[in-house]
Structure 1
Amino acid sequence: MLIKRNKSLILYSLLLFVISAIYGLLLRWNFAFPTKIISYKNLLQGHSHVAFLGWGYLALIGILLCLFITKEKQKNNIYNITIITIIITIFLMLISFIASGYKVFSIALLSIFGVVSYVLSFRLLKDISGISTSHKLIRFGVYYYLISSLATWFLAFVIITQGKTELYYNTVYFYLHFLYNGFFVFVLFGILFKILENQEIIISERLKKNFFIYLNVACIPAYVLSVLWSTNNLAFNSVGFFAAILQLISLVILFRILKQAYVQLQWNYISKLLLKYSMVAYALKIVAQLASSLPYFVSKSLALKPFFIIGYLHLFTLAFMSVFILLILNQLKIISFKKLSSKIGIGLFLLGVLFTELLLFSQGFLILLQLKAINYYNQLLLAVSFLIVVGLIFIFSSQFIKQRNIIK
């Protein structure tokens, strides 16, 4: 019953991912064919909140319950109450952000979500008490989630007292940094290491510990990379560069871990493809952060925000995080890619994400180098966003199609 409930929770989060992608498609439509039917700002807020909280956060919570929390512990009412409350609040956010944007109702829902997620986080920290590297990664991921959430409360104070100043944007970046590079990265790799342990894949414990140490030491100072746009102090660039180098070292260690694991994997072609795809995206993310510590790229990224910064955000959320989650769900046999429709869906999704990144960064570099920009850029982005949506619909719907047993 608990396994079935966790699977339902994760499929619900996958549905939210589909809806978030549809919101993203509507945003692209608004660029290609401007309309005032739906507020762009409201749509953007709905898209981002549902993607982070409905897909990323909720899917990972479901996976943690499957992998790290015993059936007996899951019977605790805290899990039942908090998860049901989170499901309801996220569903209401789908409507509230579109209808009224970041106003009273949406703020109330986010506040409820925040308080309830605290209760859930502390319960997880109590129940995930192992000493392995995978357990440590999960616990620190939860710590970083709690740190990131502090920005949501402080943000209200900043808006009331100062408005949308530099402090406002740096507070938003504080939230995103510790959510992305803290919670999502640590929890995702903790889950991957746990899966490899369960599959009896032999990996050097020393390498896993070193990966955790370098990644952890880099996390807090790496926030500086997010605020370089608001200062010319080279000391901040130095701190950011140091943090980026630590992340680069952790990436090298990660590749050594994956090299050891890969030769032992008994995964199918799609799982291996998803692993390679997400790891390339993660490596590009690290390289992008290293480049962002250099003053030249800081100024250019700001000037070309619609391309480089948006490209980076999608590189993380789609090419790395989402692909990684799909890989994990496939390994846990929560979703399947055996059916033709699901395979087509994965292909369309991966191509859509790849073309999106190519368009965003290519247009940015063409403008940076003062070369001819891509013609019909917004229309092309709309087309590749359509691939993403169709791919996700195929993946989601295929999970409810029963495989026919052909008896000869």
Structure 2
Amino acid sequence: MITQNPILSTFSFSSVVQFRQNWIRWAFGFFFLAVCLGLVMRSFHVVEIPYFEYRNILHTHSHLALLGWGHLMLLGGIVFGLVKEKDQVKDYKWLFLGTILSLLGMLFSFPFQGYGVISISFSTLHVLLSYGFAYKLLKVIRSIEKTPATRLIRLAIWFMVISTFGLWSLGPISATLGRMHELYFMTIQWFLHFQLNGWFVLGVLGLILLFFEEKGFKITWTAYQEWILSISVILTFMLAVTWAEPRPIFFQINGLAVIIQLIAYSWILKSVFILLNSNQLKGFAQLLLILALASLVAKAILQGLLVFPSIAVISYSIRMYVIGFLHLVLLGAMTMGVSAVAIARGWISEQPISRLGWILMISGFVITEFLLFLQGTLIWLKMGFLPEYNFWLFLASCLFPLSLAFLFAGLRSNEFSNQSISNSKTRLQKRINPETMRKTMIWSMGVLGILLTSCGGGSGESSNSTATEIAPKEEVKADPKGIGEFKTVEIGEGIDETLAASGKAIVDMKCTACHQLNDKRLVGPGFQGVTNRRRPEWIMNMITNVDVMLDQDPAAQKLLEECLTRMPNQNITLDDARGILEFMRKNDEEKAGQRDAATK
């Protein structure tokens, strides 16, 4: 039930406006860098890129997207939405500067070394700074009136803190149990789950409700509804548990959790949809909010389908579904939701050039989500790949950096339109700050480019040495033929072109989303040279008996430790596996100039 309340008083002073604008510019700057790195990742599927290490680009992209854009922008919305005293806002400046420093450290270390001493140090600094933000914001919430908005934001902040427990567990688990242990993967999923489903989703909903509360609307949301929402977020972590321990009881708990979550979401979303009819939001603010709510509804429906165990397994086995779901939360719910509130509050300009940017952003989001979920479904139905799928996905992804270029122009034009800044000295200072920001970001991108073009060989060595240090507590003698049905495979002196052609068709259909035909790692290792490193029996057992190989074969486990992505069972027949082997032999002959060296 929604009723009218007196409008809460607002405040305005130049230093806070300047701080807020700088905060937003930095968030959008990291967003721009993240989408550029994402575009580089997409290009790996389209053309061969020398020197670049895909895994390190992936780590940099994910950290900047989650922490540089999502975390920073949501945190800014909460700080400037909740904190009403000028002096209290200034208290956050050092935390903000430290966060920027930690993000720049991650930007310049992850491309070079992946997970290493420097990048982990900056990541740890970011976690500690987030605790500082959490402490100060929870203290503010304790001192103000408890409303549905502030209770949701408080809950989101606690889930943000809870998510970091997984990060602190990574070191002890990798040191004692190894990076191959199920707990290692579950701790990573712990962080992602509570970041996305707790911190981002509930934080965005809290900001939306806070905006409407300040416009004079009162939303009824009882304590038991808050508890039910909290329980649903906690119990839906069972989906990650089913990946490590696929027992019926865990699937049943996850099924119950998603049903509870659907009920909890319906209570909140019903109120927000009613608020949309209040005419408090217009133009792109209203459009972005509708898209954010539609993304949350789609997320809830998709998670609701996980009550069926067969679908639950597919949801984390098909990579396109995983990426599509992550983007649905980060680009759909978080980006559109927070941006809608920022536009409605006047923090982000709605100039014509900004509108063009949002049109391109929305187009890129809708098209890429459509391609990801469609291609994932085709793989599920064993119908192969869309024609030129990777090219069209790359082309659609080009809309993201283009859209942010226009949005940056809109942010710059907005700096002179804020009527709260009347002092000429402040105006001059505001002209200088965006220029400094722009030069800093250009410098950052230039250094990033130098690092990327110079770190191809070194990063691989670093990753391998790290794996060697952590992994083997005990030496297990690996069977060069692997584990499975294939004990002996006869290969001819030449290449069977018919067999190789049939194998290529299967590789194009089921393998190229994660593997390249060269020696560069994508999600999984490149195929080039595989017949020179592995016996034919090992290759075919890995194709047809992947689960057992990853659980028991030391060579397969080492690959999993390096790639950190479990290869799904594609249900490839024995005959099809022989065709894939023949195609790999032909590929090695063409690319490496040698084949079958492992048999000699």
Q: Which amino acid aligns with 2:60?
A: G
Quote the Cα distance in structure 2 between the aligned partners of 1:24 and 1:202. Answer: 41
Counterpart in the other structure of 1:57: 71
Q: Which amino acid aligns with 2:107?
A: L
Aligned mate of 2:372, from 336, 360, 364: 360
User: Once the 2 structures are TM-superposed, how far is the Cα of residue 202 of structure 1 from its aligned partner?
Assistant: 4.6
Matched, 1:154 2:169: yes
User: Once the 2 structures are TM-superposed, how far is the Cα of residue 277 of structure 1 from its aligned partner?
Assistant: 0.9
Alpha carbons of 1:278 and 1:211: their partners in 2 closer, same or farther (altered >3 Å)? farther
SS at match of 1:371: coil
Alignment of 1:275-354 (within 5 A): 275-304=289-318, 306-337=319-350, 339-354=351-366
Is contact 1:151-1:172 (8 Å) kept? yes
Matched, 1:83 2:83: no
Counterpart in the other structure of 2:215: 199
Counterpart in the other structure of 1:273: 287
Is contact 1:225-1:293 (8 Å) kept? no
Alignment of 1:154-193 (within 5 A): 154-161=169-176, 162-193=178-209
Aligned mate of 1:235, from 249, 267, 277: 249
Quote the Cα distance in structure 1 between the aligned partners of 2:331 and 2:415. Answer: 28
Deviations 1:73-96 (A, max 9, x none): 52564x232221111111221111
Is contact 1:7-1:62 (8 Å) kept? no
Q: Which amino acid aligns with 2:413?
A: I
Counterpart in the other structure of 1:4: 18
Q: Which has the larger radius of gyration?
A: 2
Q: Which amino acid aligns with 1:383?
A: L
Aligned length: 400
Q: Which amino acid aligns with 1:187?
A: G
Deviations 1:27-78 (A, max 9, x none): 001121132322111111110111111111111221122111122452564x
Q: Which amino acid aligns with 1:153?
A: W
Alpha carbons of 1:174 and 1:375: their partners in 2 closer, same or farther (altered >3 Å)? same
Is contact 1:148-1:174 (8 Å) kept? yes
Alpha carbons of 1:303 and 1:279: their partners in 2 closer, same or farther (altered >3 Å)? same
Aligned mate of 1:33, from 19, 36, 47: 47
Alpha carbons of 1:311 and 1:92: their partners in 2 closer, same or farther (altered >3 Å)? same
Deviations 1:89-111 (A, max 9, x none): 11221111112211110011111
Quote the Cα distance in structure 2 between the aligned partners of 1:299 and 1:188. Answer: 29
Is contact 1:32-1:379 (8 Å) kept? yes
SS at match of 2:236: helix
Aligned mate of 1:114, from 121, 127, 132: 127
Q: Which amino acid aligns with 2:391?
A: Q
User: Once the 2 structures are TM-superposed, how far is the Cα of residue 193 of structure 1 from its aligned partner?
Assistant: 0.8
Is contact 2:208-2:337 (8 Å) kept? no
Deviations 1:266-318 (A, max 9, x none): 322212211111111111111222223421113323442x2111111111111
SS at match of 1:399: helix
Quote the Cα distance in structure 2 between the aligned partners of 1:125 and 1:344. Answer: 37
Q: Which amino acid aligns with 2:127?
A: G
Is contact 1:210-1:253 (8 Å) kept? no
Quote the Cα distance in structure 2 between the aligned partners of 1:124 and 1:58. Answer: 14
CA RMSD across the alignment: 1.9
Deviations 1:131-174 (A, max 9, x none): 11111111111111111111111112222221233211111110
Quote the Cα distance in structure 2 between the aligned partners of 1:15 and 1:27. Answer: 19
Q: TM-score, normalised by structure 1?
A: 0.93
Quote the Cα distance in structure 1 between the aligned partners of 2:269 and 2:313. Answer: 31
Is contact 2:159-2:194 (8 Å) kept? yes
User: Once the 2 structures are TM-superposed, how far is the Cα of residue 219 of structure 1 from its aligned partner?
Assistant: 1.3
Q: TM-score, normalised by structure 2?
A: 0.64
Alpha carbons of 1:274 and 1:75: their partners in 2 closer, same or farther (altered >3 Å)? closer
Q: Which amino acid aligns with 1:155?
A: L
Counterpart in the other structure of 2:502: none
Quote the Cα distance in structure 1 between the aligned partners of 2:291 and 2:104. Answer: 30
Is contact 1:225-1:240 (8 Å) kept? yes
User: Once the 2 structures are TM-superposed, how far is the Cα of residue 23 of structure 1 from its aligned partner?
Assistant: 0.7
Alpha carbons of 1:369 and 1:75: their partners in 2 closer, same or farther (altered >3 Å)? closer
Counterpart in the other structure of 1:138: 153
Matched, 1:259 2:262: no
Counterpart in the other structure of 1:127: 140
Counterpart in the other structure of 1:98: 111
Matched, 1:396 2:418: no
Quote the Cα distance in structure 2 between the aligned partners of 1:332 and 1:52. Answer: 24
User: Once the 2 structures are TM-superposed, how far is the Cα of residue 3 of structure 1 from its aligned partner?
Assistant: 2.6
Deviates more, 1:93-102 or 1:349-358: 93-102
Q: Which amino acid aligns with 2:185?
A: Y
SS at match of 1:292: helix
Is contact 1:221-1:240 (8 Å) kept? yes
Quote the Cα distance in structure 1 between the aligned partners of 2:77 and 2:314. Answer: 39
Is contact 1:64-1:191 (8 Å) kept? yes
Matched, 1:222 2:222: no
Counterpart in the other structure of 2:389: 377
SS at match of 2:385: coil
Q: Which amino acid aligns with 1:348?
A: L
Deviates more, 1:313-322 or 1:249-258: 249-258
Quote the Cα distance in structure 1 between the aligned partners of 2:54 and 2:362. Answer: 26
Quote the Cα distance in structure 2 between the aligned partners of 1:75 and 1:292. Answer: 43
SS at match of 1:401: helix
Deviations 1:187-237 (A, max 9, x none): 11111111001112354x14x656534322211111112222222211111
Matched, 1:15 2:17: no
SS at match of 1:138: helix
Q: Which amino acid aligns with 2:328?
A: L
Is contact 1:211-1:254 (8 Å) kept? no
SS at match of 1:153: helix
Q: Percent identity?
A: 27
Is contact 2:235-2:254 (8 Å) kept? yes
